[in-house]
Amino acid sequence: MLTDRLCLFSYWRSSAAYRVRIGLNLKGLAYEIAPVHLLRDGGEQHGDAYRAANPQKLVPVLQHGHRMLRQSLAILEYLDEMWPDPPLLPVTARDRQRVRALAQLVACDVHPLNNLRVLQYFERDWGVPQAERDVWVRHWIIEGFAAFEALLQDHPSTGAFCDGNIPTIADCCLIPQVYNARRFSVDMAPFPNIVRIEAACLALPAFDAARPERQPDAP
Ligand SMILES: N[C@@H](CCC(=O)N[C@@H](CS)C(=O)NCC(=O)O)C(=O)O
């Protein structure tokens, strides 16, 4: 089982897939990338082949041997249970709770509002222009980052990374969301702790190799 092949169904600019790429890289695991183009031909995630892998029609899916694993946070926790070293969660229950709360702030409360299918629904069904869709995206990122920054600020557990001095699933979620923020020209000046942690993370090879522009399907 531990030696079964790992294959990540990924899209270069998907922040949920980016989280899992970071986790795999932090664990030092070898994996293949199976690109799923979310825009080409109406989106390959809607095709029959991919729907069989994930009825939700979302990336990522991590194939481990014959098993198909879905939901980026659940995948990160699976990786941590299967390959505990280095850990992606802190030692104490209290710190683990904090890290999961930070990760979920991004993954459950910010990212879903700005997902491709939401923006496509606005565009196709309601005719919302691009400029207004961009305002929507920025609004929810800024709301989320203001809370995230407040939770980092002056907290004794905040270290070089979101929690302490080794990266956790909170950093795996934060960095892709910062990538999205920059893509949508969010002013990052009000979030100095987030910016500091972003720099610390991207200095690590595991984060650097997971960047969208380093992916085989990046244009
Ligand atoms: N909760 C899911 C979210 C996955 C997700 O939203 N993936 C996006 C890319 S970041 C996607 O596949 N979007 C395709 C679409 O909206 O059609 C997870 O964490 O894995």
User: Per-residue pLDDT tens for 27-58?
Assistant: 999 999 999 999 999 999 999 999 999 999 99
Distance CA 130, CA 124 (A): 11
Q: What is the CA radius of gyration of the chain?
A: 17
Single out the residue of 89, 69, 60 nearest to residue 171, CA to CA.
89
Give the residue, out of 114, 116, 141, with the most ligand 1 atoms within 8 A of its beta carbon, to mutate for a pocket test: 116
In this structure, the residue with its CA closest to atom 2 of ligand 1 is 71
User: Per-residue pLDDT tens for 97-149?
Assistant: 999 999 999 999 999 999 999 999 999 999 999 999 999 999 999 999 999 99
Q: Helix (H, G, I), strand (E, B), or coil: what is residue 63?
A: strand
* Pair of tokens at residue 68: 């198909």
In this structure, the residue with its CA closest to atom 9 of ligand 1 is 14
In the chain, the amino acid numbered 130 is Q
| Ligand 1 atom nearest to CA at 11 | 9
| Neighbouring C-beta atoms of residue 195, cutoff 10 Å | 14
- CA 76 – ligand 1 centroid, Å: 15
Q: Is 209 left (phi over 0), alpha (psi -120 to 50) or beta?
A: alpha
Q: What is the pLDDT of residue 116?
A: 97
What pTM did the predictor assign? 0.98
Give the chain's mean pLDDT: 97
Long-range CB pairs of 39-45, under 8 A, 24+ apart, other chains included: 39/116, 43/116
Q: What is the pLDDT of residue 101?
A: 98
